[in-house]
A and B are shown apart, each in its own frame.
Chain A
């Protein structure tokens, strides 16, 4: 009972630490989704040039972070004229370049993890584009288009199909701050929360349980089991060395703990 209470306390602490960041992230995403129409996105993603893929990445990062909705939305974009590669770039960006996740990573684990998220996502998209350029054939794209047009319903299809954006013409700011702007932002904001709230709550409980019940020694062993040294030996081989550890200066309180635990104990280093 006491162990469960401890896990719940850590879950509560983590939830409290990330609440404002989550709301900020969802609000930013809602603002962009409410102002940029899906038809505009589909029109701009008609080919697989680098500029188009960069646009697809930006739109994806600003769109729904619910992976079900991201898949359904990418399919909808593909069906309405977007290039297959751009639609896939959009989908990968939707689930790997998530604004709210970036803010949470910065808060709980440090800005380096946010940087890793926003560096790794574009790397994945570049690799995808290169691989598609080399391997994807027109016949395969045609088959994918036929499959997409069958419209087999998956999860969150209704969510992905809703265009909640402001329909009046005008600039980004003009539409956002118009009389019609507030309602679509509220709609997208709540719908985004509704789409991921279950996964979010489950994730927080799991994180709390792990932080409370798994001893710190496990994480030390798990993350630093050995020091892998990559060293060329002149014959093209890579030698793996294990067990080499240098003596380190006193790392201070909280060092060696997993980041969520450190954050909950208030010993996360600034930045």
Chain B
């Protein structure tokens, strides 16, 4: 691995992705992942409520 522009970009974007993933799991994302492949019934409004109540 050489320290070219790809390396620096990967480090920067991996840190950015890690921040998003951390936020995802800290705000109820795991439950969302579980229902990803399930039935659409009753899901539509659950997550908007989650966003409203879990911001800091």
Q: Are B13 and A19 in contact, CB atoms less than 8 angstroms apart?
A: yes
Q: Which residue of B lies closest to A72 (CB)?
A: B40
- What DSSP secondary structure best describes chain B's contact surface? helix
Residues of A within 8 A of B13 (CB): 19-20, 23-24
Q: Are B40 and A158 in contact, CB atoms less than 8 angstroms apart?
A: yes
Q: Given A156-B37, A187-B24, decide whether A161 and B51 contact each other with a Cβ distance below 8 A.
A: no
Partner of A20, one of B6, B32, B43, B48: B6
Query: Is the C-beta of A164 less than 8 angstroms from some C-beta in chain B?
Result: yes
Q: Which of A151, A179, A186 is most buried by chain B, counting CB atoms within 10 A of its CB?
A: A186
Query: Is the C-beta of A106 less than 8 angstroms from some C-beta in chain B?
Result: no
What is B's interface to A at a CB cutoff of 8 Å?
A: 1, 6, 9-10, 12-14, 16-17, 19-21, 23-24, 27, 29, 32-33, 35-41, 43-48, 50-52, 54-55
Q: Given A24-B13, A180-B55, decide whether A190 and B24 contact each other with a Cβ distance below 8 A.
A: yes
Apart from A16-B10, A20-B12: 6 A-B pairs, beta carbons within 8 A: A17-B6, A23-B13, A23-B14, A157-B39, A161-B41, A161-B43
Q: Which of A151-170 contact B (CB under 8 A)?
A: 151, 153, 155-167
Residues of B within 8 A of A27 (CB): 16-17, 20
Bound CA–CA A113/B40 (angstroms) = 36
Q: Are A156 and B52 in contact, CB atoms less than 8 angstroms apart?
A: no
Query: Is the C-beta of A195 less than 8 angstroms from some C-beta in chain B?
Result: yes
Q: Which residue of B lies closest to A161 (CB)?
A: B40
Closest 4 pairs (CB-CB, A-B)? A161-B40, A186-B23, A20-B9, A23-B13
Bound CA–CA A30/B19 (angstroms) = 14
Residues of A within 8 A of B51 (CB): 164, 166-167, 180, 183-184, 187
Q: Which of A177-195 contact B (CB under 8 A)?
A: 179-180, 182-187, 189-191, 194-195
Residues of A within 8 A of B47 (CB): 162-164, 187
